[in-house]
């Protein structure tokens, strides 16, 4: 289903948020700069591209590797020497402590509908987010790809979120910064929008009869 074939817009019973570049700012250059300095003639951006193209990236994102296995695999692939604790510290630097959307917004939305986060992420990042970001207390449903064994744009991960929320596809609204993932949500009947900035997102919420602040 194409992006112009959108489900009907209505007030949702549940709002499902992607995390990276929607709620949490990402700064992969900060995380991978320490790795890049250990690899001659490679920028942090190049290292990040190599990691995402790694043959076992999906295994890591979908829970078929544990953190120590991923650390061992990646440091061998990149031919660098970092102890596990150092590696985790670098990895988590990709998550900026300042959020894009306010915790106050989630508190307001929680008075009108159910809330969930739905993220392609790994156990190192999710553990750090759970410890550092108080906004997650507003999200009783937290769907992480590594926990459910599937990642976006697979329909499975969206259906896990719907089942966990106890709503039908037509009763949910999903927001993500990646068009392909928004299209996948549309494909199973979920109303969804591409996140561009807080101002435009405010308009999307109001269009659906929800508050924004």
Pair 152, 120: CB distance under 8 Å: yes
Is residue 9 assigned to a domain? no
pLDDT of the residue at 100: 98
Dihedral, CA of residue 51, residue 136, residue 196 and residue 164, to nearest 10: 90
The overall average pLDDT reported for the chain is: 92
| Listed residue (47, 61, 25) closest to 177, CA to CA | 25
pLDDT tens digits for range 145-158? 999 999 999 999 99
| Listed residue (31, 123, 32) closest to 70, CA to CA | 123
Residue 56 three-state SS? coil
Query: Distance (Å, rounded) from C-alpha 126 to C-alpha 34?
Result: 21
Residues of the chain with pLDDT > 90: what percent?
80
pLDDT tens digits for range 64-114? 999 999 999 998 988 888 899 999 999 999 999 999 999 999 999 999 999
Number of domains in the chain: 2
Domain that holds residue 54: 28-93
Tell me how far the alpha carbon of residue 184 is from its chain's centroid. 15
120 and 67 part of one domain: no
89 and 113 part of one domain: no
Q: Which two tokens stand for residue 203?
A: 């308009």
pLDDT of the residue at 36: 65
Query: Distance (Å, rounded) from C-alpha 188 to C-alpha 3?
Result: 12
């Amino acid at each position: 289903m194409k992006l112009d074939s959108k489900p009907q817009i209505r007030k949702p019973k549940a709002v499902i948020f992607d995390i990276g570049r929607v709620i949490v700012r990402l700064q992969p250059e900060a995380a991978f700069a320490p790795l890049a300095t250990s690899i001659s003639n490679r920028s942090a951006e190049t290292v990040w591209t190599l990691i995402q193209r790694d043959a076992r990236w999906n295994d890591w994102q979908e829970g078929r590797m544990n953190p120590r296995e991923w650390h061992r695999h990646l440091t061998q692939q990149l031919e660098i020497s970092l102890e596990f604790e150092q590696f985790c510290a670098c990895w988590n630097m990709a998550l900026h402590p300042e959020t894009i959307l306010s915790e106050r917004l989630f508190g307001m939305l929680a008075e009108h509908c159910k809330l969930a986060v739905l993220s392609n992420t790994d156990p190192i990042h999710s553990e750090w987010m759970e410890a550092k970001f108080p906004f997650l207390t507003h999200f009783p449903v937290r769907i992480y790809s590594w926990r459910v064994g599937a990642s976006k744009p697979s329909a499975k991960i969206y259906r896990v979120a719907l089942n966990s929320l106890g709503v039908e596809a037509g009763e949910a609204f999903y927001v993500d910064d990646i068009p392909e993932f928004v299209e996948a949500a549309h494909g199973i009947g979920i109303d969804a929008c591409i996140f561009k900035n807080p101002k435009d997102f405010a308009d999307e919420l109001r269009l659906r009869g929800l508050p924004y602040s």
